[in-house]
């Protein structure tokens, strides 16, 4: 299979800066990038890990914890249309 990665990227200024959860994959020729979600993550309690699963047809299902100081919620993002 071809490689897929998810990571957070700073998307602006301010404190904390807004960050996006980015999905990138290699299609055999070039790297392609898409933004799954954008939010201000906590700088002091932010997530260090984004877990994801990839279906055979390329749908990404990602979960992460944006801020451990706000009740330990888990967030979900996908690249599937309509969700």
Beta-bridge mates of residue 33: 24
Count of residues in the chain: 83
pLDDT at site 66? 67
DSSP bridge pairs for 78: 61
Model pLDDT for residues 13-52, shown as the tens digit of each residue: 777 777 888 899 999 999 999 988 877 666 655 555 788 9
**Angstrom distance (rounded) from CA 21 to CA 8:** 5
Say if CB 6 and CB 21 are below 8 A apart: yes
Question: Mean pLDDT of all residues in the chain?
Answer: 79
């Amino acid at each position: 299979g071809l490689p897929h990665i998810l990571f957070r990227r700073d998307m602006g200024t301010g404190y904390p800066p807004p960050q996006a959860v980015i999905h990138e994959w290699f299609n055999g020729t070039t790297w392609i990038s898409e933004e799954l979600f954008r939010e201000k993550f906590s700088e002091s309690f932010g997530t260090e890990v984004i877990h994801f699963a990839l279906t055979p047809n390329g749908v990404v299902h990602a979960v992460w914890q944006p801020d451990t100081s706000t009740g330990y919620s888990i967030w979900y993002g996908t690249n599937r249309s309509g969700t």
